[in-house]
Amino acid sequence: MKHILIIDDDMAILEALELLLSRNHRVTATNRASDALEMMEKNRYDAVLLDLLMPIMSGQEFLRRHSARGDNTPVIVMTASSIYAPELGDLKFTALVHKPFQISELEAAIMRATEQP
């Protein structure tokens, strides 16, 4: 059983993901990226699910700080962008899933991300 941290400012998505993923994983959810960074200092997570477009601290900013800390927890980015890609630039992340997605796609991505050595 993996411990997954979900970061998304949309409460509906957060709730639904929590419900769906808690069948197979231990799930923690937050709607603020800054809170998530604090939580990651205290606990170890097997994977992080990250929304990009969030107020106060964006997903990009989270990725910058995450890699600056040298944390190698895999991050799966969830984005609704297609043509208009928000600047991810050379930010490091493990996988990218495009919204809207099937839960099975997300499960597969989590599986691949957590299997990596």
- Please give the residue ranges that form the binding site for another protein (CB under 8 A): 10-13, 15-17, 19-20, 23, 52-61, 78, 80-84, 86-87, 99-103
CB-nearer residue toward another protein: 68 or 70? 68
Own/partner pairs, 9-18, CB within 8 angstroms, 24+ separation: 9/51, 9/53, 9/54, 9/55, 10/51, 13/51, 17/49, 17/106
Least distance in angstroms from the C-beta of 38 to another protein: 18
Please list the helix, strand and coil fractions of the chain in percent, rounded to the nearest 5, in that order. Answer: 40, 20, 40
Nearest approach, Cβ of residue 117 and another protein (Å): 30
Closer by beta carbon to another protein, 39 or else 53: 53
